Structure 1
Amino acid sequence: MADIICEPNPGLLESMRSVGYDLNTAVADVIDNSIAAGANNIDIRYCDYGEKPYIAIVDDGNGMDRETAIHAMQLAGTNSEETRSANDLGRFGLGLKTASLSQCRSLMVTSLQHGNMSTFRWDLDHVAQTNSWTLEELSRSYTYVALPAKVQSLMPTSHGTCVLWRKLDRLSSVFGRNVQDLDRAMHDLSDYLGLVFHRFLHPYPDDTDISRIHIRVNGEEVPHRDPFLTDNPAVQKLPPQMIEGTRAIIYGYTLPYASHMRAHDKELLGIADEQGKTLNDTQGFYIYRANRLITWGSWFRMLPRKQATKLSRVRIDIPNSMDDEWTLDIKKSKATPPKVVRDSMKRFANTLAKPSRRVQKFRGRKTSNDPQARIWDVIQDRGDTFRYKINRDNPYVVTFTESLTPAQLEGFNNVLDAIAIALPYADIESRIAMDERANGLDKVDEMVREKAQSYWAMSKAIGLTAAQFVDRFKDKEPFALSPNVETILKKVTNE
């Protein structure tokens, strides 16, 4: 039996460009290397007006000597089966090359260690011309000629690495060729990086193994993100659980309703108006590998994505030793949980969904066993249909109708029926789905003060005392929606 050495055609580099990276996942993959190299500062610089297109990622990590840099530029230079340190965010030894070449035709890597510089470049046009695996080595002087002036100013002096992308053909075909198009793409990138690396940028108290880093895009810090609002006291948290038979840990969070969130909370969640996302879009599992966010916003078909669960978030921390079990892809943007983990995830998600539904159903409403308390009654018809009608036994309605003649009462009842039938269900559903906040509850105290005086006058006319008036209305909607209702009503009766 004879062995035949089958070396790949150099055209493989062109084929590898279609692995499936986009700009965001490609840059994130390069940043993984920077973090693994112990970088504290990572600067992303891209071209400005009058410059030839480029994107550079510069870090102050440990850097590489010449042999290590050559190894880093080899395809699959690292075996995915090898044991790696717990903070190593790589896997296949392909990320730097496949991520970079998915966006550009020229990849140059310059690394400094102990002040010694090594520079290597893959240029796909040069490879095609020579029809060989020609990795170019650049001298120190030529490196500075090849580096854009603004990137040179970011270069470390002792240790660190610069990854420079030129010939951005894929980028221009997706986003456009002018600087404004690139600005928009890089703005989205900044937001993406703020979320994916948020635990490195702003570590949680239990992230004791993380050294805080800084990521800047053209000098601007990427935004602060926290999909669980861990510093908000209104967030409901389930105690962490270790998934049996694994080293994976699962955490549960139920966010407060959107109307109870501050503007800062919405910024942390990435659901501010200008970002175009909602709580419904961002519910689900958040999978972290070695503290880096891999995938999010999905229930992995264990739960349907519904309004009732839009406040639920599940964080799962997995070590990089479980990569094969989770079938992590090359881009480190998708992971599929193994069965033993899926079973635990499903049980946990169902448990967590209950508080989310309760928050949705009883968001700040005072409950009462008194059937007169509600302004609106929910009528459950056959099947899964429902409708609302105004509660005629509510004391606000009764107080008014007692003063009407029979003819007036009939006309008033017809108006109430028409209002109930015309309730804009579709518009309400759409606005709630977009996390718009109803303005009425913000002004309920003002409404109570304005309306209580006239209701007190009508109540006195039918013989109610001040105490009876307060008792009658303090637990009834809409006045009961005010936390200060009893104080306001007592003040009205004393005037």
Structure 2
Amino acid sequence: MIHDWQFDVPTAGSKHLPPDARYMEALSSQGYAFEVAVADLVDNSIDAGAKDVVIHFLRDGDQLVSLLVVDDGRGMGEEQLDIAMTVGGRRDYAPNALGMFGTGLKSASLSHASAVTVVSTTKRTRTAGRRWVMERAVSGFECDIVDPNYAQTLIDRYDNGRPILWEGTIVRWDGVKDFPKHGGAGQTDRYLHRTINKLGLHLGLHLHRFLKRDDFNITIAVEDVRTGTVYMNFGVEPLDPFGYPVSGSPAYPRRFTASLPSDADVTLEAHVWPPKSNVDEYKAVGSVMDRQGFYFYRHNRLVQAGGWNNLRQPEQHLSLARVAVDLPDHLGDVFRLTVKKAGVDASPEFTSAVESAVDPTGHTFLDYLNDADTVYREARKRSGTSRRPAIPPGKGFHPAVRETIEEELPAIPLEDPISVRWQKLDNEVFFELDRKDRSMVLNQHYRAAILGGRRGGLNDAPVLKSLMYILLHQAFEKEYSGSREKDNLQLWQSVLVSAARAELDRMVDDD
């Protein structure tokens, strides 16, 4: 029997339904991380053929005021500017372009700033500018035309090869939501140090193939507009996730071919990192579980750093396995790239193709996974460590502590991590265990003494919390404690309460 649902849905005409102006609010709520949003702007600079890109933080004394991304790429005339500032503006992307959807500039900028100004100049057109202010955008897609004199003044600020010589573009963010609002120079300096370090690592990783070229540079700088002082001026270094000094296995790297029935074949370049590596190219990518897996590139731009895309679950024993995959120009139905270019969705067709992938010698991709597993295990044996798996640490532990524990201690798979938090408890106890919530609770009463009067935070007291994890993690692997374990818990409780009270007394004496 043939059912109605097997046919196309019949229609009776159509009507034009333009987006509500509030669509701009939705566009700016894409969940861009700060460094991901800035990277999207740098992508545009690369598409414009830029050789030098400057990411410029402007501060006025203690206050951060603006962020500018300046490049010496092909500029835009007024017509091109209008297209660039139109949501989903139609433009002809080059075959190797990093842009795709026509939304990156607007969504990346307005997710972090209340206003974005774009000023551009070419060899043949006068300097022009456009500006989106969020308030005016949501009230009716009203884009401001920047005064030509101001636009030229802004360009002149970066001319004579700093980096603009004859043409280039400036993207300026004002009202940046992430900037500290108060707190003085100390807070601003801490924010800049933390943010610039994270931004440099992100750009160095995701654009490492471009940064390795002799003709492309990214500079991050801070300028105090009140004094004209420029500081924290440094070039972003490439961070190659496959930049090991020597392979973890002499049989690798190997190239496997994954045959996709609906598209061209995809090459999987499989690598095995050397065990116990401490170089940034290995450590800075993410946690042990995050950094293994596929590294997808689109037109030489890294768009996903790690993850197995439903092929398998991440495991401690596969922490040395990384696979470079250059996506085809036409993604077809097999791959879908997120708007933020921060991840790839792969269809089950890709997973099946990977499971069947082979290299020219007949070595399979599944053999590769076993090889990477063996290299890890053999390294453990040589170092004399055959440690019992444990439930990993989670929220409340400093990220560096979590990473080290994950490196050193095999994780029990599919177990929720152990969290740690401060809470009001009876002064006669230092800690409590919440097995149901899988958390260690520390007595808030002793927090100030433990921190020595310093300001607390989510990941504070890393030494104490690390020691507590070492003492107590095994208690969460059982539903209840035996008599010997209860005695140990009471012992640790008594000693820690005495030590915490001694710290409190010392604080009083110092005062």
* The structure with more radius of gyration: 1
Match of 2:372 in 1: 356
CA separation of 1:147/1:106 partners in 2, compared to 1, >3 Å: closer, same or farther? farther
Picking from 55, 79, 97, the partner of 1:67 is 79
Q: Please state how far the C-alpha of 1:21 moved relative to its aligned partner.
A: 1.3
| Alpha-carbon contact 2:54-2:163 (below 8 Å) kept | no
Q: Please state how far the C-alpha of 1:186 moved relative to its aligned partner.
A: 2.6
CA separation of 1:152/1:269 partners in 2, compared to 1, >3 Å: closer, same or farther? farther
| Alpha-carbon contact 1:155-1:162 (below 8 Å) kept | no
CA distance in 2, matches of 1:86, 1:295: 20
CA distance in 1, matches of 2:405, 2:373: 15
Match of 1:118 in 2: 128
Match of 1:467 in 2: none
CA distance in 1, matches of 2:326, 2:369: 20
User: AA paired with 1:125?
Assistant: E
Cα deviation code 1:437-493 (max 9, x no counterpart):
9xxxxxxxxxxxxxxxxxxxxxxxxxxxxxxxxxxxxxxxxxxxxxxxxxxxxxxxx
Q: Which runs of 5+ in 1 are unaligned?
A: 204-210, 367-374, 379-387, 389-422, 438-495
Match of 1:214 in 2: 217
Cα deviation code 1:13-53 (max 9, x no counterpart):
22321122121221111111111111111111112352552
| Alpha-carbon contact 2:211-2:237 (below 8 Å) kept | no
Picking from 213, 231, 240, the partner of 2:255 is 240
CA distance in 2, matches of 1:8, 1:74: 13
Q: What does 1:83-102 align with in structure 2 at a 5 Å threshold?
A: 84-102=93-111
Percent identical: 25
Match of 2:200 in 1: 190
Match of 2:458 in 1: none
CA separation of 1:346/1:247 partners in 2, compared to 1, >3 Å: closer, same or farther? closer
CA separation of 1:233/1:311 partners in 2, compared to 1, >3 Å: closer, same or farther? closer
Picking from 245, 269, 275, the partner of 2:282 is 269
Count of residue pairs brought into register by the alignment: 363
Match of 2:47 in 1: 36
Match of 1:316 in 2: 325
Match of 1:137 in 2: 145
Q: Please state how far the C-alpha of 1:126 moved relative to its aligned partner.
A: 3.7
Cα deviation code 1:279-315 (max 9, x no counterpart):
4431111111111111122112322221211111111
CA separation of 1:3/1:86 partners in 2, compared to 1, >3 Å: closer, same or farther? closer
User: AA paired with 2:274?
Assistant: P
TM-score, scaled to structure 2: 0.63
| Alpha-carbon contact 2:257-2:267 (below 8 Å) kept | yes
Match of 2:272 in 1: 254
92-101 or 354-363: bigger deviation: 354-363
Q: Please state how far the C-alpha of 1:172 moved relative to its aligned partner.
A: 5.1
CA distance in 2, matches of 1:47, 1:339: 47
Match of 2:240 in 1: 226
Q: What does 1:392-471 align with in structure 2 at a 5 Å threshold?
A: 433-435=405-407
Task: Give me the CA root mean square deviation.
Answer: 3.6
Q: Is 1:17–2:28 an aligned residue pair?
A: yes
CA separation of 1:147/1:172 partners in 2, compared to 1, >3 Å: closer, same or farther? farther
Match of 1:456 in 2: none
CA distance in 1, matches of 2:99, 2:210: 16
Match of 2:7 in 1: none
**Higher helix fraction: Structure 1 or Structure 2?**
1
User: AA paired with 1:217?
Assistant: I
Q: Please state how far the C-alpha of 1:11 moved relative to its aligned partner.
A: 2.7
Match of 2:168 in 1: 160
Match of 2:441 in 1: none
| Alpha-carbon contact 1:104-1:171 (below 8 Å) kept | no
CA distance in 2, matches of 1:172, 1:10: 29
CA separation of 1:172/1:13 partners in 2, compared to 1, >3 Å: closer, same or farther? farther
Match of 1:304 in 2: 313
| Alpha-carbon contact 2:335-2:344 (below 8 Å) kept | yes
Secondary structure in 1 matching 2:290: coil
Cα deviation code 1:258-294 (max 9, x no counterpart):
1xx4x5xx122244xxx8x544431111111111111
CA distance in 2, matches of 1:321, 1:157: 35
CA distance in 2, matches of 1:268, 1:38: 27
Q: Please state how far the C-alpha of 1:231 moved relative to its aligned partner.
A: 4.7
Q: Please state how far the C-alpha of 1:212 moved relative to its aligned partner.
A: 4.9
CA distance in 2, matches of 1:158, 1:147: 10
CA distance in 2, matches of 1:364, 1:3: 66
Q: Please state how far the C-alpha of 1:227 moved relative to its aligned partner.
A: 1.2
Secondary structure in 2 matching 1:321: coil
TM-score, scaled to structure 1: 0.64
Q: Please state how far the C-alpha of 1:4 moved relative to its aligned partner.
A: 4.8
Picking from 78, 82, 105, the partner of 2:90 is 78
Cα deviation code 1:190-248 (max 9, x no counterpart):
11111111111126xxxxxxx75211211312233121225525555243234324253
Q: Please state how far the C-alpha of 1:152 moved relative to its aligned partner.
A: 10
